[in-house]
């Protein structure tokens, strides 16, 4: 039986995966981390959890935060990011620019790439940097206004 919470795919298998597959998985990984972060911080009201989550997982929210981790990415992670960013999108959400959507797709690829390798420590490192200072925004409700 495959343990989907503790994967460890080899590099060759990962390179065979499409960027959109990596982004699809990475989107889910990132969203679970955001939802966990919101619940663990307990500062978002239950009725606002969905809207708070959207503010963090939307393409503009992801693109805005990506600049925080870009200098920390390894060469391999940068390659995965560029591969995802350069994938031609089938459609772009109304609330995002093309650049924001492509940046978000690249970020999601990195998260999918790391998750499939079982590199949860690295995911947590990058996520912690992405969320630095966000506790203050939760308290003020700023994240809803920034969307």
Active-site residue list: 27
Encoded tokens for 120: 């949860």
String of DSSP letters for 75-116: HHHHHHHHHHHTSPPS---TTS-HHHHHHHHHHHHHHHHHHH
Distance CA 127, CA 46 (A): 22
Distance CA 7, CA 5 (A): 6
Distance CA 137, CA 142 (A): 5
């Amino acid at each position: 039986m495959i343990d989907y919470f503790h994967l460890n795919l080899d590099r060759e298998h990962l390179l065979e995966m499409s960027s959109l597959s990596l982004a699809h998985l990475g989107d889910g990984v990132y969203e679970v981390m955001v939802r966990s972060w919101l619940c663990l911080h307990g500062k978002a009201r239950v009725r606002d959890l969905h809207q708070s989550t959207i503010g963090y997982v939307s393409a503009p929210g992801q693109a805005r935060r990506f600049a925080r981790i870009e200098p920390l990415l390894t060469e391999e992670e940068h390659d995965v990011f560029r591969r995802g960013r350069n994938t031609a999108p089938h459609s772009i959400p109304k609330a995002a620019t093309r650049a924001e959507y492509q940046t978000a797709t690249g970020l999601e690829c990195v998260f999918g790439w790391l998750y499939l390798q079982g590199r949860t420590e690295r995911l947590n490192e990058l996520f912690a940097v992405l969320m630095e200072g966000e506790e203050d925004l939760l308290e003020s409700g700023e994240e809803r206004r920034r969307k």
